[in-house]
Chains A and B, each alone.
Chain A
Amino acid sequence: MAQDAIANTGYQEVVSDWSGDRQAFQVPWGKAMMWIFLLSDVFIFGCFLSGYMAVRVAAVDPWPNPAEVFALSFGGDPIPLILIAIMTFILISSSGTMAMAVNFAYRNDRVKTATLIFITAVFGAMFVGMQVFEWTKLIVEEGVRPWSNPMGAAQFGSVFFMITGFHGMHVTIGVIYLITVAVKVMRGDYDNPRPGKGRYELVEIAGLYWHFVDLVWVFIFAFFYLW
């Protein structure tokens, strides 16, 4: 790119990219738009988590201990947070397979890309399935409601359903998104015989969304389940 000759290091590059009435981001437009959408999503989850902090600090009743609430027993003693730990590992694995998919997409390996995206979607569906199990257990067996629960501070339920529900919705939408992308890759929609004209950046864009869902879970895991 010609403008790189003028200034291409550090802050000079930023000034150069943002000035001169031209494209600021040297990436495909879809990728820039996905990043900006994800930035807005950062603020949504940021507001949820800050709100969670506010109601937890202001709660006068003791906050229920997540390690006990989310413990699960396989016949023996209950293991604290075990389901949440498994869900975390599943989501990380799905991020790994997605990263592989993006890598094979840029190598124009149609079958491997589609397979890996599909595996990612399966991991995502497993995650949502476990979340459904978790919600059911909490609602039916533990009697947790958005307005009250038997363990302590009433705010626990509303925060839990709000945050994990919104995240679960993101995962669900992501699974649908990934399946459509996998089908398109498999059909060869992104192939183009002309060199450099393939549209495999669309796989990377879907990957950005998926990694973001994993990223949000990192924060939820830390602040809601472990804190």
Chain B
Amino acid sequence: MATAEGQQHPISVYFWVWGLLFVLSLFSYMVDYFQFQGMLRWTLIIIFMLLKAGLIVSIFMHMVWERLALMYAILLPPLLLLVLVGIAAGESDYTFLTRLAFFDEVTEFTGHH
């Protein structure tokens, strides 16, 4: 917990997280290197990304030792972005289909690829 003296934790904690971040980054690079495709690729990318983000926020940024009032105020609002992502996904699907339906050059573009 944060005190007047500030955040003091054993250095070994930071070395552990540092090492884990290296390993996780290596893993996510390997996903591309070994050319995993489709659902497996996306799942692995998201898992490694969330693990890295979690480690950085909780340990390096000390969030795990802060009070819940600060945690909630900072970590909950970004969830609203999921709404934006949902709306944008539906809208861009519609744009894509509209382009396919109305633009002639589309067939030309997709044809040679």
Contact = CB atoms under 8 A, between A and B. Distances in A.
Nearest to A221: B28
A24 B69 contact: yes
Contacts of A167: none
Nearest to A209: B61
B96 A215 contact: no
Judged by DSSP, the binding face of A is helix
22 contacts: A13-B67, A14-B68, A17-B68, A25-B69, A36-B74, A39-B73, A42-B78, A46-B81, A58-B95, A58-B99, A60-B96, A88-B25, A92-B18, A92-B21, A92-B25, A103-B11, A103-B14, A211-B56, A214-B56, A218-B49, A221-B49, A222-B46
Interface magnitude class on chain A? 35 or more
A46 B7 contact: no
A89 B66 contact: no
Given A46-B81, A81-B32, A196-B5, A54 B56 contact: no
Interface magnitude class on chain B? 35 or more
Interface of B: 2, 4-9, 11, 14-15, 17-18, 21-22, 25, 28-29, 31-33, 35, 41-42, 45-46, 48-49, 52-53, 56-57, 59-62, 66-70, 72-74, 77-78, 81, 84-85, 88-89, 91-93, 95-96, 99-100, 103, 106, 109-110, 113
Judged by DSSP, the binding face of B is helix
B73 A215 contact: no
